[in-house]
Amino acid sequence: MSDPVAKKFMVFFSIPLATMAEWQKTDPQQREASEKKMMQDWAAWSAAHADMILSTEVGGKTKNVVAATVSDTRNDIVLVSMAQGASHEAVAEAYQSHPHLQIPSASIQVMEVKPMG
């Protein structure tokens, strides 16, 4: 549930496209075991930070929009979360221990969001 005095943040989980392509070449049994462990670690991390996480959703196909055209594109963002917390630093520090960062070259960006106007 959202805390009316907490600040809100968009959290972007990124994995370089080249890293994803390499991962697909991993032996399927090894990949499945690693993914299962990461999901367990992720569930534990999420439970420990449940008061901070408002939502988490998987990114899908991406469109690039410019004034003259719309085209298909790809980027490194695989998940997006909305989070809340007392400060930008506190939320970012909480994500330093996130299992997503076990993935080679993975990153998490935390962006404060504020109402327009």
- 1 inside domain: no
- 59 inside domain: yes
The reported pTM is: 0.89
The CA distance from 2 to 8, in Å, is: 9
Strands (E), the chain: 7-14, 53-58, 62-66, 69-73, 77-85, 107-113
The CA distance from 70 to 55, in Å, is: 28
- 29 inside domain: yes
Look at residue 3 in the predicted model and tell me its pLDDT.
Answer: 65
* Overall number of domains in the chain: 1
Which of the 8 DSSP states describes residue 16?
Answer: -
- 96 inside domain: yes
Residues of the chain with pLDDT under 50: none
- 81 inside domain: yes
Sign of the C-alpha dihedral computed for residues 42, 46, 48 and 49 taken in this order: positive
Give residue 44's domain range: 7-113
The CA distance from 48 to 37, in Å, is: 17
Look at residue 57 in the predicted model and tell me its pLDDT.
Answer: 96
- 18 inside domain: yes
Could you give the 3-state DSSP secondary structure of residue 43?
helix
Task: Name which of 15, 35, 3, 24 is nearest 75 in CA terms.
Answer: 15
- 2 inside domain: no
Dihedral pair phi/psi, residue 81, rounded to 5°: -125, 155
- 99 inside domain: yes
CATH number, position 23: 3.30.70.1060
